[in-house]
Amino acid sequence: MLTKKILVIYPQVNDTKIAIFQNNSWVFFKTIPFKKEEADKYDSVIEQELPRTDQILQELKDNEIQLENIQIVIGRGGLVKPIKSGIYEINDKLKEDLGKGDRLHETNLGGLIADRIAKMIPDARAFLSDPVVVDELADIARVSGHPMFERKSIFHALNHKFAGRNFAKSINKQYEDLNLIIAHVGEGGISIGAHQHGSVVDVNQAYDGDGPFSYNRSGSLPYGDLIEVCYSGKYTKKELRKILIHEGGLEAHLGTSNINIIENMIKDGDKKAEFILRAMAYQLCKEIGAMYVILEEPLDAIILSGNIFQSKFFTERVKHRILKLGQVIISPFVSDMDALADSAMMIMKDEAEILVYE
């Protein structure tokens, strides 16, 4: 029996999720709000590291969780340089890259907070697992229509890899032996990846909103019209990024990104809400079709991952179009926390290679 505990840290825009995992079970879970008015006090995301850390420590203290019983602290991965899939022990170089750049995101805080807390505990270690910059793209997938621009891999790598490995286990096979299309609908963007023998050889760049529109991402846009808006003088660069990445998608079309509210709107006869949600499903299916044709071997399954697939309306509209391609697996109860805890358990059991960030 493993007596030591795992602390999982998952920062998001408006909150920080933390949990304690022990002996294959959750023993504590808490979502700590980090409200907009609090975030607005800081000039950058990285400045939130200390206040969020203090919140976590206070929650652990209030719930009588002793730090000395924690062996591994694992955090959500962030925007660093492109790296291969796996588990990384947090070192000085990784911390340096997590704390710099012009596109810092709340995901970057996961590793920084994990390292800060681990250093308070004798013999504890801090890790990241499959951050959003995992890059396994085939060379041909990097090519865009102009040499000034190269396609990049930024997607829900943690969710994709976890979903792929879980499906492989369910059929008594290895993830590396399968060809899969995995579509993850996150709280921000939507990423659809072609998984070929354990490598994501192509995937849309979900962070900037490439691909289908989502809850609040605008998705791929007619770039002629976008150029005109950029040079209209109406918006600053910061304002336009906010519009496209945080205030687009369902939020822009319907005034809400809450799928439960939208479903109630549809039940009440709101034809616009029905049409827009159908359009989101349509775009998701179109991207799945694009990934289907680039796989060079027969497809084993399409995995649909994300809490939105608890919506019968949305799920049926997606399945209707893609069932012709092959087996469809629905994974509607998604937990990044489970994925991170799974990685930490592999470390405890010496079942995982620990990679070094350089």
Q: What average pLDDT does range 97-116 have in this prediction?
A: 87
**How many other β-carbons are positioned within 10 Å of the β-carbon of residue 85?**
18
| pLDDT at residue number 39 | 76
pTM: 0.92
Domain boundaries, the chain: 5-133+336-355, 156-326
Superfamily of domain 5-133+336-355: ATPase, nucleotide binding domain (3.30.420.40)
Tokens of 220: 């791929």
Provide the pLDDT confidence category of residue 103 given band limits of 50, 70 and 90: low
Q: What is the CATH number of domain 156-326?
A: 3.30.420.40
Burial of 239 (0-12, 13-18, 19+ CB in 10 A): exposed
Place of tokens 């007619």: 222
**Fold match, 5-133+336-355 / 156-326:** yes
E-strand spans in the chain? 5-11, 15-22, 25-33, 70-75, 87-89, 125-129, 179-185, 190-196, 199-203, 301-305, 328-331, 354-355
Contact 74, 125 (CB under 8 A): no
Residues 172, 331, 245, 98, CA torsion sign = negative
Provide the pLDDT confidence category of residue 100 given band limits of 50, 70 and 90: confident
Place of tokens 């809850």: 215
**Average per-residue pLDDT for the chain:** 93
* The pLDDT of residue 49 is above 90: yes
| pLDDT at residue number 217 | 94
Tokens of 174: 């290895």
